[in-house]
A and B are shown apart, each in its own frame.
Chain A
């Protein structure tokens, strides 16, 4: 294909040369060129290999609808699948073709094309079934994934995007003729208007075609300049250029993506795209139409192009891709191309029309005759042939005779469709137009207006009246625009979806979806196999499932199916167009919500101390908690945890418990409220005492636990699990508002206001005495499960005597700002007693030795307090509390529920594993009845062996018996089922 430059184009700056590399070779284009136009200028049309058969492919269109010309932009983090037809070139741009090896010219994968008779619809589903199901995952899938596909994933991608929100009255999508006229109507009105266009220059069809000769007796480009100026000057209209609306959501919510670096290389660290989130009162769709192609033998050869795209290259890019293209059409839309070619001094090699001579527009007829263009009416192209490019075509003329025409370019037009993607995304309904052979918008579901060809108005006759009528509700000034056309015709089309082939061959294929390599034969086969519903057919053949969503071909598929099934197209229906309209990068969707902004990290007030003291952190919800502390780099986690826990048992340890949820509950009816929320009864509880409490769901299952401090009947402080704080507060608020609005009670989170230190171990009392010399910590003055308020160096603190380790323990609550000071003080006075910090892992080990559960680890939403052996915590005398009635359901009182037990290996040297099953047989012979599983499992240096907590069926009555635990090596370990307490069963250490 030999292209020529058409000088005097207003959009291309021919004086400004730009160099770029394609597959390593340097080429030149001009400022304003897309990759596609620049490649065509260099007579390159082979730009990629196809998805499945690795067939050579070229540039098929001149816009967003491009199915073939997808390239990888090496100079932008290797961004794959970029449409060459819309991406502008810049100096130094590096581009690579996709899906070929070792090179584009000699592609090894093209051997697939020879085997193509077996690669038909459903091939993968049918073929790669055996001999073993593992073959798919380990052999077939990796092989296929390497062979098929498009671009390679980008490397080190660091695209930055931001989000902008808009709230407007009217959004006009598309700045073509109709979009501009609509915007013109709103000039200086009281409406806030947003006008969005995908291109850098507004104008659409005025810039892209030869159709319009004058507007209001002015040159179209002069009228355009004036109109755009008027719109820009209007204060109520904002124009977004280089912005593509990809999504039309409910309640007129639009998502649009703006490219901030059109025609230049994105600067690292700068925002390269903006995602606009638009909420609008009305949406006016002026997004025009898309031309369809036609199916015939080898309709995918490089050199074949849509006729309106050829015209756009001429008008918009000052480039005729070929000096003498052949035109094949079944409609009047390509008339303007013939006119444009002749005006430019070029001549079509031949004009082929499937319509009869009477149906062809008289003025086209005259034009063709006058310029001596070979004309074939009532004719069809039977096939295109050539090696990696089109070389000749075979035309069957009205007499049935075959004519061979040598050519380097073929322009196709199969008719035009309104671009209904956004309209159907908005849930609007379509209707089939039997005359124009396309789906057109009929009933909008939202306040949506369609204008121009987007609404199916393919003629310009009713331009003014249509806009005036549809914009009537806004009471804006009426339009009266005078339009003159170069090719004065009414849209006319004859039905033609596919041309039957002249003769069958393996190489020859008639494609229906170029991007996914679906042929019309695949459609036939799918229907034969029973996939005759359009949505089934789409998924079975993958037709229109590429990134182009079959923009130039999906209607053709419907036409072919309707013919095959002998149904009307309306009865066949259409598949649903889903957002986004064109691929949207994840970085654009994420915007600023990445890395630390995606999920905030919450840190305790003591965090910097932990960092300095060798803490290894664990994520608990959003919190960073010290998991364990390394005293030197060589200490293993196991050693650290054993050292920390041993130190708590022998001396004393300190844990940063600041992340625990804390909720303050106040109000006249706080007592009654707490009695309703928790299982425990707080009525008889003394002021200044604390209680371990359980919270259930209405289904009777344990939801959360914590310690409740009763300051008075009107004032409580509850702690929750670290992860459950928000849920518990939410639940309290819900019930206070919805079920018991009569109760006067208020609650608030005070998690971040107070830091919490848990100190425990036999030497704790000595340390506390020294740290807080004015407080009496004797067992009589400060008994277990009581709390006191004190002031220490003018800092108000609350000390609670409680323990999660089984040792004597205190929890200190300190306002967060003062916490580091007190922490440091305790560290220094504790040194002589061997006080050392411990992390969450040692805490888990210590609490498990004592048999204390962790909600969410030892429970899973199917465990009641009775299952845990915590019946004593249920306030049976209370009339009501969350989930009370559920504890008497037949399912919750049955005896074979999974219940919490302790597990120790019968042979103390054996290891146990968390998550393994408890079974009754030594041999694993499936099916093995599973009694339950191990929920927590640790090695204890205090006990000298492994131990575990488990939930097993009928567990309470199995205590004292033997069973087996499965292992990850598919064997079993003999275990003893014991009470879930392994240490200080009578609580001597806790209460003395």
Chain B
């Protein structure tokens, strides 16, 4: 079970939180014409990298605030959590490293680093 550092409440048990999928996915502006592809990508397409990943969480059984984080999907390590209005951190700032804890080879299915 993870410990997640809620930017409003501090470190809490994972069971208090819900995951909200990829972060920084921009909702297309409804007041403008939106193309099929653009809308389709917003609704259906999400990244699923092995490695560093911008992710949304909500403190459901706590302050009910949404926030963002950077999580290493290969190790489950949460490197940073930050409020929605904070700038998204540069992934190059983290010493990331696909650590493959279960001993599988570093290159394999789904093994690519995040580049967006």
The listed residue (B2, B34, B42, B65) touching A737 by CB distance below 8 A is B65
The listed residue (B42, B58, B85, B102) touching A427 by CB distance below 8 A is B102
Q: Smallest distance from the beta carbon of A279 to chain B beta carbons, Å?
A: 7
- Whether a CB of chain B sits under 8 angstroms from the CB of A889 is yes
The listed residue (B39, B75, B84) touching A741 by CB distance below 8 A is B84
Complex-state Cα separation, A573 to B2, whole angstroms: 28
* The 8 A-B residue pairs with the shortest CB-CB distance in the complex, in nearest-first order: A880-B30, A427-B101, A737-B66, A879-B31, A885-B39, A698-B43, A445-B101, A885-B34
Closest to A165 in B: B13
- Whether a CB of chain A sits under 8 angstroms from the CB of B1 is yes
Pick from A573, A738, A741 the residue with the most CB of B within 10 Å: A738
Once the chains bind, are B36 and A738 in contact (CB under 8 Å)?
no
The listed residue (B30, B65, B102, B103) touching A884 by CB distance below 8 A is B30
Known contacts A733-B64, A737-B84; A885 and B2 CB within 8 A of each other: no
- Whether a CB of chain A sits under 8 angstroms from the CB of B62 is no
Instruction: Write the B10-47 contact mask toward A (1 if CB under 8 angstroms, else 0).
Output: 00000000001000000111110010100110111000
Q: Which residues of A contact B27 (CB under 8 A)?
A: 739
Q: Smallest distance from the beta carbon of A764 to chain B beta carbons, Å?
A: 39
The listed residue (A250, A698, A881, A889) touching B2 by CB distance below 8 A is A250
- Whether a CB of chain A sits under 8 angstroms from the CB of B99 is yes
Instruction: Find residues 241-266 in chain A having any chain B CB closer than 8 Å to their own CB.
Output: 249-251, 253
Known contacts A253-B1, A738-B66, A879-B30; A886 and B43 CB within 8 A of each other: yes
Complex-state Cα separation, A890 to B28, whole angstroms: 18
- Whether a CB of chain B sits under 8 angstroms from the CB of A970 is no
The listed residue (A279, A573, A698, A880) touching B31 by CB distance below 8 A is A880
Q: Which residues of B contact A881 (CB under 8 A)?
A: 30
Once the chains bind, are B66 and A734 in contact (CB under 8 Å)?
yes
Count B-side interface residues using an 8 Å CB cutoff. 30
Q: Smallest distance from the beta carbon of A443 to chain B beta carbons, Å?
A: 10
- Whether a CB of chain A sits under 8 angstroms from the CB of B97 is no
Q: Smallest distance from the beta carbon of A446 to chain B beta carbons, Å?
A: 9
Q: Which residues of A contact B99 (CB under 8 A)?
A: 445
- Whether a CB of chain B sits under 8 angstroms from the CB of A699 is yes
Instruction: Find residues 51-78 in chain B having any chain A CB closer than 8 Å to their own CB.
Output: 56, 58, 60, 64-66, 75-76
Once the chains bind, are A738 and B84 in contact (CB under 8 Å)?
yes
Once the chains bind, are B66 and A249 in contact (CB under 8 Å)?
no
Closest to B30 in A: A880
Q: Which residues of B contact A737 (CB under 8 A)?
A: 65-66, 84
Instruction: Find residues 727-783 in chain A having any chain B CB closer than 8 Å to their own CB.
Output: 730, 733-734, 737-739, 741
Known contacts A885-B34, A886-B39; A429 and B66 CB within 8 A of each other: no
Instruction: Find residues 660-700 in chain A having any chain B CB closer than 8 Å to their own CB.
Output: 698-699
Closest to B4 in A: A251
- Whether a CB of chain B sits under 8 angstroms from the CB of A576 is yes
Q: Which residues of A contact B91 (CB under 8 A)?
A: none
Q: Which residues of B contact A730 (CB under 8 A)?
A: 58, 60
Q: Which residues of A contact B76 (CB under 8 A)?
A: 250
Q: Smallest distance from the beta carbon of A864 to chain B beta carbons, Å?
A: 13
The listed residue (A249, A251, A698, A890) touching B42 by CB distance below 8 A is A698
Count A-side interface residues using an 8 Å CB cutoff. 27
Closest to B35 in A: A885
Once the chains bind, are A699 and B43 in contact (CB under 8 Å)?
yes
- Whether a CB of chain A sits under 8 angstroms from the CB of B114 is no
Closest to A251 in B: B3
Closest to A739 in B: B27
Complex-state Cα separation, A128 to B115, whole angstroms: 51
Closest to A277 in B: B1
Q: Smallest distance from the beta carbon of A429 to chain B beta carbons, Å?
A: 6
Q: Which residues of B contact A889 (CB under 8 A)?
A: 36, 39-40
Once the chains bind, are B28 and A885 in contact (CB under 8 Å)?
yes
Instruction: Find residues 878-902 in chain A having any chain B CB closer than 8 Å to their own CB.
Output: 879-881, 884-886, 889-890
Closest to B68 in A: A738
Once the chains bind, are B1 and A250 in contact (CB under 8 Å)?
yes
Q: Which residues of A contact B44 (CB under 8 A)?
A: 699
Given A250-B1, A573-B103, A733-B64: 17 more A-B contacts, CB < 8 Å? A279-B3, A427-B102, A429-B103, A445-B99, A734-B58, A737-B66, A738-B66, A739-B27, A741-B85, A880-B29, A880-B31, A884-B30, A885-B28, A885-B34, A886-B43, A889-B36, A889-B39
Q: Smallest distance from the beta carbon of A878 to chain B beta carbons, Å?
A: 9
Once the chains bind, are B20 and A576 in contact (CB under 8 Å)?
no
Instruction: Write the A429-473 contact mask toward B (1 if CB under 8 angstroms, else 0).
Output: 100000000000000010000000000000000000000000000
Closest to A884 in B: B30
Q: Which residues of A contact B31 (CB under 8 A)?
A: 879-880
Instruction: Write the A708-738 contact mask toward B (1 if CB under 8 angstroms, else 0).
Output: 0000000000000000000000100110011
Closest to A446 in B: B101
A-B contact pairs, 11 of them (CB 8 A): A253-B1, A445-B75, A699-B43, A699-B44, A734-B20, A734-B58, A880-B29, A881-B30, A884-B30, A885-B28, A885-B39
Complex-state Cα separation, A214 to B1, whole angstroms: 43
Complex-state Cα separation, A984 to B85, whole angstroms: 53
Q: Smallest distance from the beta carbon of B71 to chain A beta carbons, Å?
A: 12
Q: Which residues of A contact B29 (CB under 8 A)?
A: 880
Q: Which residues of B contact A251 (CB under 8 A)?
A: 1-3
Q: Which residues of A contact B3 (CB under 8 A)?
A: 251, 279
Q: Which residues of B contact A698 (CB under 8 A)?
A: 42-43
Pick from A445, A880, A885 the residue with the most CB of B within 10 Å: A885
Known contacts A733-B64, A738-B66; A576 and B30 CB within 8 A of each other: no
Q: Smallest distance from the beta carbon of B23 to chain A beta carbons, Å?
A: 9
Q: Smallest distance from the beta carbon of A422 to chain B beta carbons, Å?
A: 15
Q: Which residues of B contact A884 (CB under 8 A)?
A: 30
Closest to B26 in A: A739
Q: Smallest distance from the beta carbon of B44 to chain A beta carbons, Å?
A: 8
Closest to A426 in B: B101
Closest to B44 in A: A699
Closest to B103 in A: A429
Q: Smallest distance from the beta carbon of A698 to chain B beta carbons, Å?
A: 5
Instruction: Write the A863-889 contact mask toward B (1 if CB under 8 angstroms, else 0).
Output: 000000000000000011100111001
Complex-state Cα separation, A961 to B44, whole angstroms: 37
Q: Which residues of B contact A429 (CB under 8 A)?
A: 103
Pick from B2, B3, B43 the residue with the most CB of A within 10 Å: B43
Q: Smallest distance from the beta carbon of B78 to chain A beta carbons, Å?
A: 9
Complex-state Cα separation, A950 to B47, whole angstroms: 37
Complex-state Cα separation, A734 to B3, whole angstroms: 22
Once the chains bind, are B30 and A885 in contact (CB under 8 Å)?
yes
Q: Which residues of A contact B30 (CB under 8 A)?
A: 879-881, 884-885
Q: Which residues of A contact B64 (CB under 8 A)?
A: 733
Closest to B60 in A: A730
Q: Smallest distance from the beta carbon of B104 to chain A beta carbons, Å?
A: 11
Q: Which residues of A contact B56 (CB under 8 A)?
A: 738
Closest to B64 in A: A733
Pick from B36, B58, B101 the residue with the most CB of A within 10 Å: B101
Q: Smallest distance from the beta carbon of A283 to chain B beta carbons, Å?
A: 15
Q: Smallest distance from the beta carbon of A891 to chain B beta carbons, Å?
A: 10
Complex-state Cα separation, A879 to B58, whole angstroms: 28
Instruction: Write the A409-434 contact mask toward B (1 if CB under 8 angstroms, else 0).
Output: 00000000000000000010100000
Q: Which residues of B contact A885 (CB under 8 A)?
A: 28, 30, 34, 39
Complex-state Cα separation, A881 to B30, whole angstroms: 8
Instruction: Find residues 88-106 in chain B having any chain A CB closer than 8 Å to their own CB.
Output: 99, 101-103
Q: Which residues of A contact B42 (CB under 8 A)?
A: 698
Closest to B29 in A: A880
Closest to A427 in B: B101
Q: Which residues of A contact B36 (CB under 8 A)?
A: 889-890
Q: Which residues of B contact A880 (CB under 8 A)?
A: 29-31
Known contacts A698-B42, A737-B66; A576 and B2 CB within 8 A of each other: no
Q: Which residues of A contact B20 (CB under 8 A)?
A: 734
Complex-state Cα separation, A879 to B66, whole angstroms: 26
Complex-state Cα separation, A737 to B64, whole angstroms: 10
Complex-state Cα separation, A741 to B86, whole angstroms: 13
Q: Which residues of B contact A427 (CB under 8 A)?
A: 101-102
